[in-house]
Structure 1
Amino acid sequence: MTLPARFRASHRDQQTDLDRLGPLYRQLEQVLAGIEREFAGLSRRLDEARTRAAALMGNEDGIYFDREPADEARLVEAEAQMMAAFRRIEQLRAQRSMLAAWRAQIEDSGIGRALRDGAGSSGRFSRFLRLMRARMAVIRHLSRFSGWVLMLVIIYATLSGIEQRPSVAWLMPDIERSLAFLAAAAAFAIGYPRQRPLIFAAGLAAVISLEFAQGWAPTRHGTPHDAWVKAFGLCTGLLLVIGIERLRQPGRSS
């Protein structure tokens, strides 16, 4: 039930009108832009058909009785294309005038300027979203590549001999192992956002498998402590990415 006019706030009424007319106004803009594109293409085709027909006619007066059958067929085809293009152009003109009149009525209302500003800002926002999606695609591809490279480095560092094992001198071994799995898990979580449960399960399986595989590697041995450290890094990397995404969501909605 609608309240009487004296009980309604003006800003709320304007927002209601914007919510109702905004989608219609944007749709009108899109349809008119499509009509303009089709109109330009048909006008170009009509000019080409006229030029082709004039060349087939033979002279300016159109008196040329000894045309070849193939030329006659091409002339008939060009004339048919001209008539079809002309009829479609007339239809587009009628549609354009009707839609432009509707748009003018909306723009002449009290919320016309707000609708125009909203259409411009939505266009800029859509371009910004497309740019961000393109950048996110690049980031995901780089994250996938980095994750697989880190996984290969982890496997080599775990199964190689102690003298060949790459390490960072100023880091404690536990922190080094945890950070390696944290970085790999974060890279995979960014690169494969829809497979995070699978990444967690595969990561735990990799941790356990690598600890068992060290039993067959010379000068290496796996321990439950190392498995816990690596599993901690794996969980921390996944939770870090998920937490950052959750923190960014309120900013996007506002």
Structure 2
Amino acid sequence: MTLPARFRGSHRDCQTDLDRLGPLYRQLGQALAGIERERTGLSGRLDEARTRAAALMGNEDGIYFDREPADEARLVEAEAQMMAAFRRLEELQAQSAMLTAWRAEIEDSGVGGALRQWAGSGGLSTWFLRMVRARMAAIRRLARFSGWMLLIVIVYATVSGIEQRPSVSWLMPDVERSLAFLSAAAAFALGYPRQRIAIFAIGLAAVVTLEFAQAWVPTRHGTLHDVLVKAVGLGLGLLLVSGLERLKPSVRAL
């Protein structure tokens, strides 16, 4: 099995790797454990069939005797069971080798230690973290939706007339602008964890473009001060998400 390039590249996001490889790693372990249990059961049945066939073929001193038709049928049945057990054991051996190779390759992908902890850890807090991680795809979709909705609101508030501009009365205008871009940047950073540099660059270009666009609105005008305030909010939003991730390395390793 060859892992996709996103799992092999040095730029890959460790959290995303754990989200995607963790369940697969655990399923491989469960499959290998199931194969081992089946092999143990088959080995026991194979020994029973051998013992039964030996008893039907001759006595314990190796002296063979003529068999009754019923004994002959039981001997044929025992031999058939032995052959079926042999074939199944060979199949299980091949499956076990294949799954073991896959598991070894995943462990060598750079997150093997974290995956072993992820698979072997327990407890209420770990269960909660796994539950959150299992819903990470939904959380990221929600973050993307929130980010785009915030962007639409920001665009409308920036290029609409001053009388139509939504505002929060108890917040200073600069704080309001900064918080709006901080929230949008944080939402996009959660929704697109691999694209944070692009988010900052595109967000900065959008800030400048929107300030220039205000020149077409009679009651609005863009200023360099507003650009700086919004750019600071944008950067703080990205730094907030990155900082929270770095504060909890042990959580990300589960």
TM-score interval, normalised by the smaller of the two chains: 0.5 to 0.7
Unpaired stretches in structure 2, ≥5 consecutive residues: 1-27, 42-78, 93-115
Q: 1:127 to 1:178 in 2, by over 3 A?
A: closer
Q: 1:88 to 1:219 in 2, by over 3 A?
A: farther
- What amino acid is aligned across from residue 33 of structure 1 in structure 2? G
Aligned counterparts of 1:203 and 1:188: Cα–Cα separation in 2:
10
How many angstroms does 1:91 deviate by?
3.7
| SS of residue paired to 2:222 | coil
How many angstroms does 1:88 deviate by?
3.8
Whether 1:89 and 2:90 are equivalent positions in the alignment is no
- What amino acid is aligned across from residue 198 of structure 2 in structure 1? L
Match of 2:144 in 1: 144
% identity of equivalent residues: 57
Q: 1:38 to 1:156 in 2, by over 3 A?
A: farther
Match of 1:204 in 2: 204
Equivalent of residue 120 in structure 2, options 118, 122, 132: 122
Aligned counterparts of 1:146 and 1:176: Cα–Cα separation in 2:
17
How many angstroms does 1:93 deviate by?
5.8
- What amino acid is aligned across from residue 34 of structure 1 in structure 2? I
Whether 1:192 and 2:192 are equivalent positions in the alignment is yes
Aligned counterparts of 2:228 and 2:250: Cα–Cα separation in 1:
34
Q: 1:210 to 1:251 in 2, by over 3 A?
A: same
Match of 1:242 in 2: 242
* Superposed CA RMSD: 3.9
How many angstroms does 1:32 deviate by?
4.6
How many angstroms does 1:132 deviate by?
3.7
How many angstroms does 1:90 deviate by?
3.8
Whether 1:183 and 2:179 are equivalent positions in the alignment is no
How many residues were matched structurally?
166
- What amino acid is aligned across from residue 31 of structure 1 in structure 2? L
Aligned counterparts of 1:214 and 1:139: Cα–Cα separation in 2:
34
- What amino acid is aligned across from residue 209 of structure 1 in structure 2? T
User: 1:25-64 alignment to 2 at 5 Å?
Assistant: 30-34=31-35
Match of 1:230 in 2: 230
Match of 1:78 in 2: none
Superimposed CA distance per residue, residues 72-123 of structure 1 (whole angstroms, 9 cap, x where no aligned partner): xxxxxxxxxxx99974434446898xxxxxxxxxxxxxxxxxxxxx99x717
| SS of residue paired to 2:142 | helix
How many angstroms does 1:252 deviate by?
4.7
- What amino acid is aligned across from residue 85 of structure 2 in structure 1? I
Whether 1:216 and 2:212 are equivalent positions in the alignment is no
| SS of residue paired to 1:246 | helix
Unpaired stretches in structure 1, ≥5 consecutive residues: 1-26, 41-82, 97-117
How many angstroms does 1:162 deviate by?
0.7
Match of 1:115 in 2: none
Superimposed CA distance per residue, residues 29-79 of structure 1 (whole angstroms, 9 cap, x where no aligned partner): 743503657999xxxxxxxxxxxxxxxxxxxxxxxxxxxxxxxxxxxxxxx
Aligned counterparts of 1:141 and 1:28: Cα–Cα separation in 2:
30
How many angstroms does 1:138 deviate by?
1.5
- What amino acid is aligned across from residue 203 of structure 1 in structure 2? G
The two structures have a TM-score, normalised by structure 2, of 0.55
How many angstroms does 1:135 deviate by?
1.9
Q: Determine which structure has greater relative contact order: mean sequence separation of CA pairs < 8 Å that are 6+ residues apart, divided by chain length.
A: 2
> For the pair shown, which has the larger CA radius of gyration, 1 or 2?
1
| SS of residue paired to 2:248 | helix
How many angstroms does 1:133 deviate by?
2.8
- What amino acid is aligned across from residue 166 of structure 2 in structure 1? P
Aligned counterparts of 2:80 and 2:149: Cα–Cα separation in 1:
60
Aligned counterparts of 2:30 and 2:139: Cα–Cα separation in 1:
34
Q: 1:151 to 1:252 in 2, by over 3 A?
A: closer
- What amino acid is aligned across from residue 186 of structure 1 in structure 2? A
